[in-house]
Amino acid sequence: MNSKTLTSISLGTPKRILRLDASASPGDSSSRKLGSYLLRQLEQGAPAIETRVRDLNTGLSFIDSNWIAANFTASDERDVKQSARLAFSDELIAELNWAEHIILTTPMYNFGVPATLKTWIDLICRAGVTFRYGADGAEGLLKGKRIDIVITTGGAPLDSPVDFVSGYLKQVFKFIGIEDINIIGADQMNVDGEASFATAISQIEQTYPAIAA
Ligand SMILES: Cc1cc2nc3c(=O)[nH]c(=O)nc-3n(C[C@H](O)[C@H](O)[C@H](O)COP(=O)(O)O)c2cc1C
């Protein structure tokens, strides 16, 4: 491979970003707004970006006994119905595999993650696909990726005893092999929303300084 080819690859290959949004509120959602800001900063700081977006409020359904049975059947022994039952989960996992960088935005709902996000987690945590069990216990299989997790709350402080969002999400993503985890928090939005939002914006700008035009 000559140097010209190398240059064209390094400048021409877009960074693959997957954006996942969990808030049930579409338009004026604070977590979604922060996710858009983060994405803009990334777009300005990188030569090229390819983005895929998935709204977790659309199209996800709970795992059930048929799904579990299909998942616990070896892939070469599944019947047509079982393969079909896992097809959407396969699609979600393919998206994760495709992405180099993930942006997840989520509010806190009742001290935890929204049910939509938990549903997505149940669909993407699959033994032999996103993690495996070996002699040393579980090993995550989605290596070399980064995730920014934007979390908003109304009254609960992040990292407090009533925050069952940030620690849980860190555990889930480490479990599937994503070790590079950055949490951006706009917590206690009902106490001083402007200040919380500004703190999160400044955290984003420090993490991803935009290149001045
Ligand atoms: C159903 C529901 C449950 C909530 N539960 C909590 C909670 O347990 N603790 C908290 O601090 N805020 C809670 N909130 C407030 C949201 O976390 C907060 O308003 C957040 O900024 C919403 O983000 P969004 O605008 O992106 O949807 C809840 C909001 C809703 C709608």
Tens digit of pLDDT for each residue in 13-41?
Answer: 779 999 999 999 988 899 999 999 999 99
Residue of the CA atom closest to atom 30 of ligand 1: 109
Give me the phi and psi of 13, to 5 degrees please: -85, 115
- What is the percentage of the chain residues whose pLDDT exceeds 90? 85
Locate tokens 């977006």: which residue?
53
How is residue 180 written in tokens?
A: 């590079």
Whether 106 is in the pocket of ligand 1, judged by its Cβ within 6 Å, is no
pLDDT mean over 51-80: 97
Looking at residue 209, what DSSP letter applies?
P
Q: Cβ contacts of residue 204 below 8 Å, gap of 6+?
A: 34, 37, 38, 41, 184
The whole-number pLDDT of residue 136 equals 87
Whether 196 is in the pocket of ligand 1, judged by its Cβ within 6 Å, is no
Whether 111 is in the pocket of ligand 1, judged by its Cβ within 6 Å, is yes
Whether 3 is in the pocket of ligand 1, judged by its Cβ within 6 Å, is no
| C-alpha to C-alpha distance for 68 and 53, rounded to whole angstroms | 27
What's the whole-model pTM score?
0.93
- What is the percentage of the chain residues whose pLDDT exceeds 70? 93
How far does residue 35's CA lie from ligand 1's centre (Å)? 16
The ligand 1 atom at the shortest distance from the C-alpha of residue 106 is: 26
Whether 82 is in the pocket of ligand 1, judged by its Cβ within 6 Å, is no
pLDDT mean over 129-148: 95
- pLDDT tens-digit profile of 100-136? 999 999 999 999 999 999 999 999 999 999 999 988 8
The ligand 1 atom at the shortest distance from the C-alpha of residue 111 is: 8
Whether 153 is in the pocket of ligand 1, judged by its Cβ within 6 Å, is yes
How far does residue 166's CA lie from ligand 1's centre (Å)? 14
Residue of the CA atom closest to atom 24 of ligand 1: 29
